Amino acid sequence: MRRKIISQDKVVYFLNYLFLVCLFCIVLYPIVYIISCSFSSGDALMAGRVKLLPVGFTLDSYKAVFRYSSIWTGYKNSIIYTVLGTLISLVLTLFAAYPLSREDFQGRKIFMGIFLFTMMFSGGLIPSYLLIKNLGLLDTMWAIILPGSVSAYNIIVARTFFDQTISRELLEAAQMDGCADFPFFVKIVVPLSAPIIATLSLWVAVSLWNSYFNPMIYIDSSAKYPLQLVLRRILLMSQVSFDSSSVDPETIERNKYLSEMLKYGTIIISSLPLMIAYPFIQKYFVKGVMIGSVKG
């Protein structure tokens, strides 16, 4: 009887590995496929000959991307919006989370309620749009950065972190020495909070970098487009305009599938920053999700 059970476990363990290997392949395949496509020739792409590895190896699609100037304008805009937005959001989140983590903070229930309510109810699309319009923020980067900068969820995560890390004794000792609240926050709390600062910055930065809906409704002039809107034009609306100055007519003639190839190149180029940073940042992401899972 006992032997039978153990052999059954062995089978289960084996099947489990098999399952994970299959899953691994399923997740990896589309990524490999797109990378291979980006190195393939236009003829092979249009004939659907690429299955796993590049067919007719060429760098033409990357050459097309590098000559396509609006991608780089988008890149620059996205970097500005993301860096500035992350900084602002981080400061605001920590400024809300620290007082709320203090047990002695009078009125913390009320303040917490004010933040929590925004998680459950919102004005909706049109009221938000009209507000941005009335504030004169349409077609400015503030319309992308400010509305989402204070998130109740991030505040809860940061507050939970402070609750766990900043001990009462630490605060009392500092108060004994006559340290006021703000200097305590700047000199003691912030330096101790590197992990949560990393986590929150990454969350905010990734969501700003990847968002397209808000920029789509608030930004009109294409010079201010963030990368995702440029990508939307290229990938989803197939609106590619090679002005003759950037690509000579000969190239277009030689490669009539250039706009298709451009798509694969842009996917890789635009995802590159996150994919390179990803192995280093993923542990902070994981950490944040786990802190967040502690009951708010």
Partner 1 sequence: MNETGKNRRKKFFGYLKAHWQLYVMILFPLIVIFIFAYGPMYGILLAFKNYKVSLGIWKSPWAENFGMNNFIRFFNNYNFMECLRNTLVISLYSMFAGVPCSIILALSLNYAKNYLFRKTVQMVTYCPYFISTIVFVGIINMMFDIRTGVLGSFFSDHFGVNILGSAELFPSLYVWTGIWQGMGFGAIIYIAALAGVDMEQHEAAIIDGATLLQRIRYVDIPAIVPTVVIMMILNMGGILNVGYEKVLAMQNQMNLSSSEVIATYSYKVSLVSSFPDYPYSTAIGLFQSIIGLILILITNKIADKISGISFI
Q: Is 192 in the site for partner 1 (CB under 8 A)?
A: no
Distance in angstroms (rounded) separating the CA atoms of residues 7 and 113: 55
Looking at beta carbons only, is 224 or 263 nearer to partner 1? 263
- With CB under 8 A as the contact rule, the residue among 87, 206, 240, 247 that binds partner 1 is 206
Q: Is 62 in the site for partner 1 (CB under 8 A)?
A: no
Binding segment (CB under 8 A) for partner 1, from list 56-64, 191-199, 203-211, 246-254: 203-211
- With CB under 8 A as the contact rule, the residue among 47, 59, 83, 173 that binds partner 1 is 47
The interface with partner 1 within residues 80-139 (CB under 8 A) comprises: 91-93, 95-96, 98-100, 102, 104-106, 111, 114-116, 118, 120-131, 135
- With CB under 8 A as the contact rule, the residue among 50, 90, 141, 219 that binds partner 1 is 50
Q: Is 155 in the site for partner 1 (CB under 8 A)?
A: yes
The interface with partner 1 within residues 212-271 (CB under 8 A) comprises: 212-213, 217, 228, 231-232, 235-236, 260, 263-264, 267, 270-271
Q: Which residues of 58-78 are buried (b: 16+ CB within 10 A; e: fewer)?
A: bebbbbbbebbebbebbbebb
Looking at beta carbons only, is 179 or 252 nearer to partner 1? 179
Binding segment (CB under 8 A) for partner 1, from list 5-13, 61-69, 166-174, 192-200: 5-13
- With CB under 8 A as the contact rule, the residue among 80, 84, 247, 274 that binds partner 1 is 274
Nearest CA-CA partner of 203 in 86, 79, 77, 81: 86
Q: Is residue 158 within 8 Å of residue 200, measured between CB atoms?
A: yes
Q: Is 181 in the site for partner 1 (CB under 8 A)?
A: yes
Binding segment (CB under 8 A) for partner 1, from list 47-55, 166-174, 191-199, 243-251: 47-55
List the structure tokens of 239.
């609106």
Q: Is 75 in the site for partner 1 (CB under 8 A)?
A: no
CA-only gyration radius of the chain, Å:
25
Looking at beta carbons only, is 58 or 228 nearer to partner 1? 228
CB of 286 to partner 1, least distance (A): 5
> What are the strands, taking DSSP E only, across 20-67?
none
CB atoms within 10 A of CB 48: 7
In the 8-state DSSP scheme, what is residue 235?
I
List the structure tokens of 88.
């602002």
Distance in angstroms (rounded) separating the CA atoms of residues 181 and 100: 13
Q: Is 149 in the site for partner 1 (CB under 8 A)?
A: yes
Distance in angstroms (rounded) separating the CA atoms of residues 289 and 296: 12
Q: Is 51 in the site for partner 1 (CB under 8 A)?
A: yes
DSSP per-residue letters across 159-227: HHHHHHHS-HHHHHHHHHTT--HHHHIIIIIHHHTHHHHHHHHHHHHHHHHH--HHHHHH--SGGG--H
Q: Is 289 in the site for partner 1 (CB under 8 A)?
A: yes
- With CB under 8 A as the contact rule, the residue among 73, 140, 210, 246 that binds partner 1 is 210
Looking at beta carbons only, is 72 or 105 nearer to partner 1? 105
Q: Is residue 40 within 8 Å of residue 54, measured between CB atoms?
A: yes
List the structure tokens of 270.
């635009």
Helices 152-165, 194-210: crossing angle, 10 deg rounding: 170
